[in-house]
Amino acid sequence: MDTKQKYWNPVLETLPLEKIRQLQLKKFKQIFRWTYEHSKFHRQLYEQAGVKPDDIRSFEDIRQVPKVEKSMMRDIQRKEPFPYGDALCVPLEDVAVFRQTSGTTGQPVYQPDTWQDWEWWAECWSYILWAQGYRPQDRVFIPFGYNIFVAFWAGHYAAEKLGCEVVPGGVLDTKARILKIEELQATAMMGTPTYVLGMAETAKSKMGMDPSKLPIERITCAGECGASIPSTKRRMEQAWGAKVYDHAGATEIGAWSFECTAQSGGMHVNEALFLVEIEDVETGEIIDEPGQRGKMIITALDRQAQPCVRFDSKDVIEWADAPCACGRTTRLIKGGVVGRADDITKVKGVLLAPSAIEEVVRDIDGLGDEYEVVVQKDGDTDRIKLRVEVLPDAEDQCQLIENELVDQLRLKTNLRYDIEICGCETLPRYEVKAKRFKDLRKKE
């Protein structure tokens, strides 16, 4: 691999859109036929809808293919044949890798992959890392125990595939990880935004270290929207003195999207490997034009053991209206994944995306990184309580901060909040993914 090469795959990343679409259609036909012929679950689903492999001739036809929801996968798993049920498309002995979803939205879903699928995972991540400037001279530190969650495993293998030197930071605690980064002079790191900010806080408050003095130059984020929220990204970049890049992926899907070094306010969809459709949540129509948000329906075009065909991801995205400055021809989604269809909720009749609150809180200088939002019923009205932490050197400016919060929140979300300003380090801390938004109305 020529390290001056700009793209991981110079052919596929610069194909004209028309050619990408031809390739996607061809690959969709193949993966649809594969699932139809090899999985009882998929075949039943498609027969009920009256769709056969020979019926797929255009993107219009693809829209007639039934979607698969996560709950459907949960229903068939752990049943006969154990443990993957009727969706497995290969003999059990061909399965080389077991992973599972994190279970943040319910019982985890198992994910089997063949060795070929696993090589495909590493290939997906190679596009990401190369686009974010990883090169063989990088020493990459991964500060997590990866366990059965897929993202950091795939990032790990891809970094090795690129020729980087990979340091797994598994069983160490946060302080030991920071010392290891310093000792080995690691240049790149992967993490969830919550943990990347948490590490910086630990370095500063518990170790008297300035993380921006460490040699980390680039950080790849996973697992949460934060790296696409401008104020959160800025906080991470300032704390670490590094470039922070977002990526999006999921255990059942693959790593389908990434920000490149041009940082043009969005993420590339890897369209040679995935077909992304955006569906209007109200009407079910497919949105092809920029500027309108909807939920993502996605197909992994090459994954075989437990395929992902028109999977209803619940990720909310929209197409960007301009191509990226980097020269890749694959389409961008504006502002990354803006939220989950499940999390976007109506409060007092107004649609609220929790990421909008994060954007405001982290844009205010005197506030810490943590916050907590609780929505509950007070009689017939919805109330939103927002707790934030004031930094020690801004304690005398609480009233100013509160006024700014109220103004900015009203401007960005059209809602009023009961604000509580708390002392430093009083709100809960999270190790990997955070749960900062609590909607108590759902339980009431």
Task: Decide: is 267 part of the binding site for Zn ion (CB under 5 A).
Answer: no
Nearest residue (CB) to Zn ion, 259 versus 439:
259
Q: φ, ψ for residue 165 (rounded to 5)?
A: -100, 125
Least distance (Å) between residue 2 CB and Zn ion: 19
Q: With 0-12 CB in 10 A as exposed, 13-18 as middle and 19+ as buried, what is 274?
A: buried
Least distance (Å) between residue 159 CB and Zn ion: 20
Stretch that binds Zn ion, among 43-51, 94-102, 205-213, 256-264 (CB under 5 A): 256-264
- According to DSSP, the β-strands at 339-340 and 332-334 are unpaired
Stretch that binds Zn ion, among 55-63, 102-110, 183-191, 262-270 (CB under 5 A): 262-270
Q: How far apart are CA 247 and CA 125, in angstroms?
A: 9
Nearest residue (CB) to Zn ion, 11 versus 171:
11
Task: Decide: is 260 part of the binding site for Zn ion (CB under 5 A).
Answer: yes
Question: Where do we find the tokens 């020690």?
Answer: 392
Q: How far apart are CA 273 and CA 182, in angstroms?
A: 37
Nearest residue (CB) to Zn ion, 96 versus 262:
262
Q: How far apart are CA 326 and CA 324, in angstroms?
A: 5
Question: Where do we find the tokens 């797994």?
Answer: 168
Nearest residue (CB) to Zn ion, 233 versus 328:
328
Dihedral angle computed from the Cα positions of residues 406, 409, 415 and 418, in that order, rounded to the nearest 10 degrees = -40
Determine which residue in the list 72, 76, 172, 262 makes contact with Zn ion, applying CB under 5 A: 262
Which 282-301 positions form the footprint of Zn ion (CB under 5 A)? none
Task: Decide: is 265 part of the binding site for Zn ion (CB under 5 A).
Answer: no
Least distance (Å) between residue 332 CB and Zn ion: 7
Mark residues 109-148: x for contact with Zn ion by CB under 5 A, - for none.
Answer: ----------------------------------------
Least distance (Å) between residue 249 CB and Zn ion: 17
Least distance (Å) between residue 199 CB and Zn ion: 27
Which 157-186 positions form the footprint of Zn ion (CB under 5 A)? none
Which 7-46 positions form the footprint of Zn ion (CB under 5 A)? none
Least distance (Å) between residue 327 CB and Zn ion: 7
Stretch that binds Zn ion, among 253-261, 366-374, 393-401, 406-414 (CB under 5 A): 253-261
Nearest residue (CB) to Zn ion, 92 versus 325:
325
Stretch that binds Zn ion, among 145-153, 185-193, 225-233, 258-266 (CB under 5 A): 258-266
Least distance (Å) between residue 324 CB and Zn ion: 3
Least distance (Å) between residue 326 CB and Zn ion: 3
Q: How far apart are CA 420 and CA 422, in angstroms?
A: 6
Half-sphere exposure of 404 (CA within 13 A, CB side): 15
Stretch that binds Zn ion, among 22-30, 196-204, 254-262, 428-436 (CB under 5 A): 254-262
Q: How far apart are CA 392 and CA 380, in angstroms?
A: 38
Stretch that binds Zn ion, among 96-104, 257-265, 360-368, 421-429 (CB under 5 A): 257-265
Q: How far apart are CA 211 and CA 186, in angstroms?
A: 12
Mark residues 315-354: x for contact with Zn ion by CB under 5 A, - for none.
Answer: ---------x-x-x--------------------------
Stretch that binds Zn ion, among 58-66, 260-268, 276-284, 409-417 (CB under 5 A): 260-268
* Residues that bind Zn ion in the complex, under the rule CB under 5 A: 260, 262, 324, 326, 328
